[in-house]
Amino acid sequence: MSLPPRFPKGLYGITPEWPDTERLILAVAEAARGGMTALQWRRKSGSHQEHLAQALALAECCRQHGILFIVNDNLQLALATEADGVHLGRGDGSLSEARQALGPGKIVGCSCYNEPELARKALELDVDYIAFGAIYPSTVKPDTVRASLDDLREGLRLTLAQGKTPRAAVVAIGGITPENAAPVIQAGADSIALISGLFETPDIQAAAARCSALFKG
C-alpha cells in the first residue's frame, strides 16, 4: 500500500549554526539547485533580533527557490516570518497549539527520537511528519539517543494505518550522508534531514543532488 505523504519527499536540509546570513543564503541556494525540497532553519545562539533577521532572509530565499521553509522550535518566529511550518521537539511547545496557531495549511512536524509510541500520539494530533533519530552517530548532537531502522519501519506502519490521503511523512535525521542514506530510505523514510552531511561538504549542490537521486526511480 502506498499513500502520498503531506510533507515533500526527498532532501530536508537543516541549517548549521552559522551567524553569517549571506554565507547561509548561498549554501541554501546551492542545496536547492541540487534538489533539496525543504529547509529547516535551526539557530540556538544569538539574540532574538539576529534570529528574526536571519530567518526572514532565509524564508525569502526559500520562496525564491520554491522550497518549504520550516522554523525549528519557535512557533512565534514561524508566525512572524510567515514560515511554511514549524518543527517541535520534546519540551518545545504544544503540537495542538501549533496546529491551531498555524492553521490547517501549514506544516507541523515533531521529533519522535527512538519512540514509536511518541509518534503514535503525535499522529493523533494531526502532525504532518514524524521524525526519528539519530539514525547514525551525530556530530551535531553526539550525546543524543539513537533510533533504528526498525523505528522508521514502525513509523511508516503507523502513518499508513491512519489511512489518510495524503498521509503524514516519516523523516529520518542524525548522521545521514549521501553515502549512508540508501538503507534509511529503504526502511521507510520519506525524507532525510541533513546538516553536516550537506552544508559542511565541499560541494553542497553535488551532495544535495546525490541525496535527491536516491528518491528517484
- Across the strands, what pairs with 110? 88, 130
Structure confidence at residue 1 (pLDDT):
45
Active site residue ranges: 42, 111, 141
| Beta pairing, strands 169-173 & 10-14 | unpaired
Separation CA 38–CA 56 (nearest Å)? 16
Q: 25, exposed or middle or buried, with CB in 10 Å at 0-12, 13-18, 19+?
A: middle
Which residue type does 166 have? P
SS3 content of the chain, % helix, strand, coil (to 5): 40, 20, 40
pLDDT by residue for the chain (217 residues), tens only, comes to 467 889 999 999 999 999 999 999 999 999 999 999 999 999 999 999 999 999 999 999 999 999 999 999 999 999 999 999 999 998 888 999 999 999 999 999 999 999 999 999 999 999 999 999 999 998 888 888 999 999 999 999 999 999 999 999 999 999 999 999 999 999 999 999 999 999 999 999 999 999 999 998 6
For residue 217, what pLDDT is reported?
Answer: 60
SS3 call for 123: helix
Encoded amino acid at 194, one letter: L
Q: Is 105 exposed, middle or buried (0-12, 13-18, 19+ CB in 10 A)?
A: exposed
Task: Say if residues 61 and 34 touch (Cβ distance below 8 Å).
Answer: no
10-213: in CATH 3.20.20.70: yes
Q: What are phi and psi of 142, to 5 degrees?
A: -65, -25
pTM of the model: 0.96
Domain boundaries, the chain: 10-213
Neighbours of 42 (CB within 10 A): 17
Enter the DSSP assignment of 173.
Answer: E
Q: Classify 41 as helix, strand or coil.
A: strand
Neighbours of 111 (CB within 10 A): 22
